[in-house]
Structures are given as C-alpha cells and as structure tokens.
Structure 1
Amino acid sequence: MTGTDSLMPPGTPSVLGAAPDVTEDAREYLAAGGYRGALGAAELLDRLDGLRGRGGAGYPAAAKLRAVRDAGPRPVVVANGEEGEPGSVKDRWLLRARPHLVLDGLARAAEITGAERGYVYLSDTTAGERVRRALAERTPRLPCEVVDTPHTYVAGEETAVVRRINGGPALPTAKPPRPYQQGVGGAPTLVANVETLARIALVAAHPERRHRTVRSTLVTLSGRGAEPLLVEVPYGCTLRTLARAQGTPEPAGALMGGLFGGLIGPGRLDLVLDPDTLAAAGTALGCGAIRFLAPDECPVSLASAALAHLTAESARQCGICVAGTGAVRDAVGALTDGTADTGLLTRLERWSASLPGRGACGLLDAAAGTAGSLLRAFPDLVRAHLGTPCPDCAAPADAGRLTVPVPHVARRTVPRPRSAPASR
C-alpha cells in the first residue's frame, strides 16, 4: 500500500496527524494539545451535532451519546476497532498510529455519558500492542481494558461486540434490546467506531474548526492495477477525484461502502462524497471503503467475489442468511460461467428485494444489495452473460482481490529530544 494522504485544506485538524508513518506517543500527543480542552461535556455534546458515526451505518453520534446517557446509571463505553470489511483499513491504522487520539475520544465519550469504564475492542495484534503501550504511557482518566476477538466479518457488529466482551462468542444477537439499552454487563453501552471517537477528540481540542472535522472522513481506496490508499477527504469531493488520487483515472464503476454500498456504474462517478447525497443516489458511504473497477474489469466477476466472501463469512445463526447468501452467490456465479438464464435473473431480482432485513445482522442485506446493485448498474452487461461465458470471469471468485493491507506504521524507537517542535 502506498500509505496515507490528505486532501484536506491546509491548517485543518486531521485524524492522520503530523507523521502518519510513525506511531504517536503520549508526549507528542500532549504537546499537540491532546487530552486537554476547554469544553465541558454538555458543550462538547452540542458541538457534535452533525457528526455521523464512521462505522458504516452513519448514525448521528450525538444522538447515540444522548441515548446512552439517558438510558440508566453506570453506562459503559466501547471503542470498536474490529473492521470486518475486507476493503477497509482506517480503524486498524488509527489504533496503530494514533492510539492516544482514540483513547482521548473514548474518555470524552465517557464524560458525556457518565460512563465509569471503557473497552477497546479489536482483533489486530499490532493495534492491540500499540493501544496497550499507550495505556501504559499515561494513566487514563477512564479505566480501560483491551478485549481481543477473532477476526470475522460479523465480529464488529455492535451486539456481537457486547456478546464477546461479556464472555461469549463474537456473534450478533437478536434486537431488541440494543446495546444502548442493555449491553456490557447489562448496562447501557455505547459502541462507537474508533474514527468516530477520534473525531470527537479533535472537536474537543479544536472546537473552532469543528465544521471541517465533522464534515471530513477517512476513506480506503483500492482498485486493480494500482496501489491502495488511505486518505482523509472533505465531504463534497467527487468519486472521480478519488479515483484519480488512487490511480484508476478512468474507472468502469466502483464497489461502494465496503460491501454495503453496492456497485455503481461509470455514470455515477461525479457523485460527491456525502452520506445524504450517496444515499439519495441509491448507494452508501458505509465504512468509507471504495473499490474502483479498472476499465477492463468485469463487475460481474467483482460481485461474484464479494458474494463468495459474504457467504463464507456468514455466522450461520440464521437459516434465511445461510440459504439466502448461498442462493445469491450461486446465481451470480452462474452468470460468471455463462450458465444463467432469464429465469435466474428474475429470481435474483426477487431475492435482492425480499431478503434485506431478515437476518440478525447486516450480512444478508449486503449480499442482497450487491446483487441488486449489479442488476441496476450494469443491466446490459449482465444480460450479455446469459448463456455466454465471460473471459474476465473465467477465474474462480477470489475474495482476496477485495482485501487491502494496512499501511505500515513504524514504532518510534529513538525518542525525540524534548526541544523538538510539536507534531501538529
């Protein structure tokens, strides 16, 4: 991976920090104004209006904080750093490179909600080492425990997070209750994405620049034939601009939001990066992972790889999910080898409309959405696959083509002299 970059205006507080290639230590974070700020909990909460959660669903962060605060005594806060989406690396990068920024945001979320204990939930070994080191560098205001989990697609779903911290498997549970009502140890629980918490800390440190902090986001950009890129961008940037920055200047489309935003065609690349704009266009920002299609790449093949991954990652708790994801995978697989007929397309259209919302988590929704978006975005190309094998689809579906490596973040081994300038 080429690393990290920023498309933010100069002078804007950035979650990438001053040295994205090196883990920030406590001294550097404090020198840059971290763990401090003039805002009280109530005032900070007011300043967070407009901040969307960065975990995928995009739920308003302030509303979630208020719900936990008002749900009952002794709440719990959790930094959720478990990225199930294969095309996303932002959360693991934040925990590796800027653990103090995340811990600061977690402590501020605790102040807002009245929580007395916190957890950092993750599966990445390197991220866990960096977070534990950060906790040892500076005694946190909030008692905090790091909880490791096996890496799976569904392990970061909020009820799976709670279940794992409570000592069970990292598998989703039926809702209600939701974690804000009854979570870790039965207490009201905030499960917040680590980038969301990082932005809370930035707003606290730089309240005068809250608008830019709230209206910017990390995105993981990838595509065949060019190196992936983790970049911070302001809302309003076009998808075409992002494709050029990543190295796919003339993409044939994109797979949006990890595996939740579905496929879009080349005619949608002038859409701007904004949650509401993308939702109105029938797609989603999700976790901020965007996979661009190369000009000669077949979207049917990419959809087949995505569906193979989702089927393999099913928690296998819901019969409808096991049967539904498998059926959708097989149907798109028939398109790749030229054995599908128009009847199969009719069934695929029906499944894409009827399956969402029927599983305990969003995995089935992602599978149905991927198939439905393929039919909508590339109808002529899909029909061209009926009864005709596609050369680009000849290889077996490879979920590995969706996976993005985390940019290397070194641990500083030689301390900077005390007279060194602040890192930001």
Structure 2
Amino acid sequence: MTGVLSLLPEGRHGLLRPPPYGGAEDLAGYLATGGYAPPAEPGRLLDRIGAVGLRGRGGAGFPVAVKILAVRDASAPPVVVANGEEGEPGSVKDRWLLRHRPHLVLDGLRLAAAMTGAARCFVYLSDTLAEQAVRRAVAECPADPRIEVVHTRHSYVAGEETAVVRRIDGGQPLPTAKPPRPFEAGVGGAPTLVANVETLARIAVIQAHPGDAGAVAGAHLVTLSGTAGTAAALVEAPAGTHLKVLADLGGHGTAEAVLLGGLFGGLYGPGWTDLPLDHDRLGAAGGALGCGALHFLHPEDCPVAVAAAATAHLAAHSARQCGVCVSGTAALAGTLTAVTRGEAGHATTDRLRRWAGQLPGRGACGLPDAAARIVATLLTHFPDRIDAHRRAPCPACEAGRPHDGSRFTVPVP
C-alpha cells in the first residue's frame, strides 16, 4: 500500500489534505478550505503565478504563466484541459488528486478558464475511480464554464498534449506532428491550454492562500518507490529537498542510485544524494525531475537490468507512428536485454552510445527521448556495468526480474 505524507512546514497549505474516511473530498469540505472563492482579477492571479515562477507538473516543467499568456492572447476563444492521464508507471500523484481532491482540480480548471477567457473546459483521464470522483464533483461544482469529462485508454503516450487534443476531438490518443502545438491550434482548432492536474491544483491553492504562493509554487508531489520490498509513498516536499532526505523517508537509505522522473529523467549514480528537488539543478546535473517519480536502486539491484526494463516498457508503448521511434527504441531495449543475458559484445557500448545520441528530438513525442536519456545516463554513471556483463549475467539479472514497466508500477493510495 502506498503511504501519503506531507513534509511541508506546519501551517503551510499544500495538496495532500486528507479527505474524510479516505474517500473523495466533497463540496462542503472543499468550500471549508476556501475553495471556489470569487476569483480576483484574472490578470492579478496570472501576475502572481508568473512572479512565483510556477512551473508545469506534467513533466517538462515549462513556466505556467507563459503557457497561459500564449493561449489568452490568441485570436480565437480558447479551450482549457485538465490532463489527468498519468502515463508514467511509477507515478500516482495525478490519480490521487482526481480520486481524493477532485474539487481542487476543478477549481484550478475554473481559474485557468478565467485567466485565458476559455468557454469550454475538459477533464481528460483514463482511471475509472478518478473518473467516478470527478463526475460526482462536476455534478455539484458551482463553477462556470461547463466542464466535460473525456475518458481515454491508458498508455504511456496518451497524456502527451497533442494526443490529448486528438482524443478529445474524437480520434485515437496518439501524438501528432508539431507544429502546430495545442496553444496554437488544439481542440476543434481552437488555441488550447493543456495543463497537468497538479499544476491546476497549485493554481487553486495560490488563489485561496496568496500569502503561501511562493511555497506552493515550489513544492512538489513526489512518488517514491524502490526495489527493496519497501512500501511506496506519495510525498509533498518543499522546493530544494535533497533526494537523500526523500530516500531515507521512503526506506531507501541504502540506495546507491536513482531513476529520476519516472522513465523520463534517466539514471543517476554516485552523487545522487546531493541532488535537490529542483528542475534547473537536476537538469544541470544531466537528469530531469519529470513527473516527480523517484525509483531507488539498492546494492542488490543492477542498473543495466533497470535500464533494460525501462526501455522495454517504452518500446512496448510506442505509438508506432514514427519509424525512428519504433526501430530506435526497440534497438536500445533489445540490446540492453541481451546485455542482461551475458550477450554483450565488444562493440555494444559504442553502439548504444551512438543510438542514444541519434534518437532525441526525432519523434512526434518525447518517448524516444526518454529511452535515449536512460541509456545515455547508464553509460555516464555506470560505464563499467555493461563490460561486466560481457561473459555472464550478474546475480540480479540471473534472478530474472520482469523486463517491463511492472517493476516500476506503484498502487494509488
């Protein structure tokens, strides 16, 4: 069972307020927290979001105010989408918010509509329990404009913003070529803001508690997991919290490495304990925070096996629309799987390095980029591990753990 814990200082407002009886927070409970308050002048709220530097929580960490401005200043009436399709197998934060605090997300959606001038809003998701909670909340929601709920099939790429638009417009949840991007031409051809549900929840808290705006913008929901049999945890942590603090909290104090950002941020070895929970500093270190999912590797774990499982999951979830993704991601996964079997050749490292350098930026979405980053960081932080598998698999690989995303999957609390 996944635990839920806030590390925010006492008195600070966050997102993990426990709902009564473990179920969804109802309208009365949410109103008691200051929710659905009459919005301030939308321009003032937008200025505040920009001033505190709120960044998107869907993976890329793009400045939220910049996205809102791009949609607001477009020439046609815009659309706003709450994106709750959580494709990363190691992340639970979005489904937790939709299941337990749906009004918080809807309030943020309402405010985003006010800031952009949108007349149509959507909640996009695949989780059945989340959908039930959201539909109940929509039925009692006092806010305008009207909110529509769109169900999609779950996949790694279904939450990519152009896949979101394509599905809402009646198509398959698959990425499309860019440009145009949704802020230029999205749902029904209208400029569209696709915002992660945690992002919208933080907008709602900033509106209700402006004195805490900076702390709210800097905090992150983080999913902690590992391969040592410890329970996973969903944690709200202040900006700059060191990964070592989170590892110790989750029972991963003996970990020797971490897989960052779900399957997006790559592997990090020696020195990972000094990394902070910060987009820019993780990026400067060659990693990425992504969706905030952290998977810790213990001494008995093999980084090559973890990389093989991660790339195999990505290859299996390819939309199969881009030849470079289909062939390149599968080649990385197949080669790493062969390494775990003791089948590495003398040219394996050079081949992996070449492919990892060629893939980024060549697909319609970031899936091949994620696979390439995993391999590139494996080669950077564990350069000796592939050679060590040249004659025979290591004990961890011989144990035969699954080479797919199931090893990263975390249950929603």
Scaled to the shorter chain, the TM-score interval is: over 0.9
Q: Distance in 1 between matches of 2:377 and 2:58?
A: 21
State yes or no: 1:132 paired with 2:135: yes
Identity of aligned residues (%): 60
Contact 2:2 2:412 in 1 (8 A): no
Corresponding residue SS for 1:136? helix
After the TM superposition, which residues 403-418 of structure 1 pair with which residues of structure 2 at under 5 Å, given as runs?
A: 403-407=409-413
Deviation per CA, 1:364-411: give whole Å up to 9, x if none: 11111111111111112222112222221121514211111111xxxx
User: What is residue 267 of structure 2 aligned with on the other side?
Assistant: 263
* Alpha-carbon shift at residue 257 of structure 1 (Å): 0.3
Corresponding residue SS for 1:221? strand
User: What is residue 17 of structure 1 aligned with on the other side?
Assistant: 17
User: What is residue 230 of structure 1 aligned with on the other side?
Assistant: 234
Q: Distance in 1 between matches of 2:28 and 2:270?
A: 47
Q: Distance in 2 between matches of 1:191 and 1:161?
A: 8
User: What is residue 420 of structure 1 aligned with on the other side?
Assistant: none
Do the aligned partners of residues 185 and 358 (structure 1) sit closer, same or farther apart at CA in structure 2, a change above 3 Å counting?
same
* Alpha-carbon shift at residue 38 of structure 1 (Å): 5.8
Corresponding residue SS for 2:66? helix
Aligned AA (1:28): G
User: What is residue 46 of structure 1 aligned with on the other side?
Assistant: 47
- Segments of structure 2 that go 5 or more residues without pairing to the other structure are none
Q: Distance in 1 between matches of 2:141 and 2:167?
A: 27
After the TM superposition, which residues 354-373 of structure 1 pair with which residues of structure 2 at under 5 Å, given as runs?
A: 354-373=358-377
Contact 1:37 1:205 in 2 (8 A): no
* Alpha-carbon shift at residue 342 of structure 1 (Å): 2.4
User: What is residue 2 of structure 1 aligned with on the other side?
Assistant: 2
Moved runs in structure 1, 4+ residues, more than 4 A? Answer: none
Q: Distance in 1 between matches of 2:76 and 2:115?
A: 13
Deviation per CA, 1:253-283: give whole Å up to 9, x if none: 0100011100000322211111111000000
State yes or no: 1:302 paired with 2:303: no
Aligned AA (2:396): D
Structure 2 counterpart of 1:252, from 246, 251, 256: 256
Aligned AA (1:281): A
After the TM superposition, which residues 60-71 of structure 1 pair with which residues of structure 2 at under 5 Å, given as runs?
A: 60-71=63-74
Aligned AA (2:412): V
State yes or no: 1:105 paired with 2:94: no
Corresponding residue SS for 2:248? helix
* Alpha-carbon shift at residue 308 of structure 1 (Å): 1.0
User: What is residue 169 of structure 2 aligned with on the other side?
Assistant: 166
Q: Distance in 2 between matches of 1:169 and 1:57?
A: 23
Contact 1:179 1:189 in 2 (8 A): yes
Q: Distance in 1 between matches of 2:146 and 2:307?
A: 44
Q: Distance in 1 between matches of 2:225 and 2:2?
A: 11
User: What is residue 184 of structure 2 aligned with on the other side?
Assistant: 181
Q: TM-score, normalised by structure 1?
A: 0.94
Contact 2:344 2:387 in 1 (8 A): no
Number of matched pairs: 407
User: What is residue 33 of structure 1 aligned with on the other side?
Assistant: 34
Do the aligned partners of residues 398 and 182 (structure 1) sit closer, same or farther apart at CA in structure 2, a change above 3 Å counting?
closer
* Alpha-carbon shift at residue 37 of structure 1 (Å): 5.1
User: What is residue 341 of structure 1 aligned with on the other side?
Assistant: 345
Q: Distance in 2 between matches of 1:319 and 1:250?
A: 41
Q: TM-score, normalised by structure 2?
A: 0.97
Aligned AA (1:334): A
Aligned AA (2:242): T
User: What is residue 417 of structure 1 aligned with on the other side?
Assistant: none
Q: Distance in 1 between matches of 2:200 and 2:405?
A: 30
Deviation per CA, 1:134-187: give whole Å up to 9, x if none: 011234311110000000100000000000000000000000000000000110
Aligned AA (2:14): S
Corresponding residue SS for 1:266? coil
- Segments of structure 1 that go 5 or more residues without pairing to the other structure are 408-424
* Alpha-carbon shift at residue 18 of structure 1 (Å): 4.1
Contact 2:77 2:191 in 1 (8 A): yes
State yes or no: 1:152 paired with 2:155: yes
State yes or no: 1:213 paired with 2:213: no
State yes or no: 1:397 paired with 2:403: yes
